[in-house]
A = this chain, B = another copy of it.
Amino acid sequence: MIDGTADPNGLPGPVLALCGGVGGAKLALGLYQVLAPQQLVVAVNTGDDFEHLSLSISPDLDTVIYTLAGIADPVRGWGRADETWNFLASLGDLGGETWFRLGDRDLAMHVERTRFLKHGRGLSEFAAHAARKLGIGAEIVPMTDDRLRTIIVTGEGELPFQHYFVERQCAPEVTALRYDGAEHARPAARLIETLSDPALRAIIICPSNPYLSIDPFLAMPMLRGALARSPKPVIAVAPIIAGRAVKGPASKIMTELGIPVTTRSIAAHYRGIINGLVVDIGDADEARGLDIPVLTTPILMRSRADRERLAREVLAFADDIAARSEAAAPGTASVPIDSAEKKAL
């Protein structure tokens, strides 16, 4: 154990997970299952947030909350289990917009969030409130309380994220991505506090889409700087297996942007930020040439056992990197970019 043994219960310090929606939420759930609740802070992408039907909608935040609360729909991959759709059917009868599918149970989150925000209470406060009400012991934090919106620049013009992702089903060809508001957005207070916590054990970048889910975090200069300078191990789990995205449009977008769909591209994308990369066991050959520490292990999470095993392995990998760094430079836990592994190149 590197730091965090200051905890009166003898627990290691907190782990900070950064994630987007479904894929990332699976590892966040794995971490939640293997850590004590107070050992986990999950910071969630809000670049996908949007206003729809005059409601404030935060798709990734809700996916993480529903997943950790155990009420996410296991089949559909989004929204709540045991959902009904009577609101949407009636809205359609009234001629309203139904392309974004809001379930009856899910809608409560949007209505209550909209009410919170309208009364000047921030997204962080709502996320903490909702998580507590739904029995989640871990902290769930939006990456920012400020407005930051992912814009997809396509051959058909610029599209707000949900219009690209849901309404257009990712069909338009992506030529660039933009994160409106990122330059001036402040990372959420709890995210900065957690990053600055001397007891922090590790920062885990979950297997979310690097461009759509993680880059909105990194587009905030203060946060990118804090991650790059952090003395704690920053570990990313690749969202790619055998040259294909595990889920969602990552491969399509990478291809359209001219980026090879490889773990090497992921490593290059996070260069200067991460101290270790977790890749699938099947990608071990490809990963051998990477200039950072790599853990190869099965990363596809199909079951609770898969999630827990991966979470434990990722944590052990982070602890190992921290220990090696500590041994190399006592008093810090940072892994310089020119670590031993780089020489393997």
- Interfacial residues, chain A to chain B (CB-CB below 8 A): 53-55, 80, 83-84, 86-91, 93-96, 103-109, 111-112, 114-115, 118, 129-130, 133-134
Contacts and interface: CB of A to CB of B under 8 A. Distances in A.
23 contacts: A53-B111, A53-B115, A54-B114, A54-B115, A55-B111, A86-B86, A86-B105, A87-B87, A87-B105, A87-B107, A89-B105, A90-B106, A90-B107, A91-B112, A93-B133, A93-B134, A94-B109, A95-B129, A95-B133, A96-B108, A96-B111, A104-B104, A107-B107
Contacts of A90: 80, 104-109
A108 B93 contact: yes
Given A86-B84, A86-B105, A104-B104, A111 B91 contact: yes
Contacts of A84: 84, 86, 104
Interface of A is mostly: helix
A118 B87 contact: no
A84 B89 CA distance: 12
A43 to B, nearest CB: 21
Contact of A86 (B54, B89, B104, B134): B104
Contacts of A129: 94-95
Contacts of A93: 108, 133-134
Given A91-B108, A93-B108, A118 B86 contact: no
A133 B95 CA distance: 7
A94 B108 contact: yes
A84 to B, nearest CB: 5
Most buried by B among A84, A87, A107, A112: A87
Given A53-B111, A118-B54, A134 B87 contact: no
A129 B112 CA distance: 27
Contacts of A109: 90, 94
Contacts of A95: 129, 133
Most buried by B among A95, A106, A129: A95
A87 B115 contact: no
A114 B55 CA distance: 10
A94 B110 CA distance: 11
Nearest to A113: B94
Most buried by B among A89, A90, A118: A90
Contacts of A118: 54
Contacts of A134: 93-94
A58 to B, nearest CB: 14
Contacts of A103: 86
A71 to B, nearest CB: 9
A86 B81 CA distance: 12
A143 B164 CA distance: 42
Nearest to A107: B87
Contacts of A80: 90
Contacts of A112: 53, 91, 94, 96
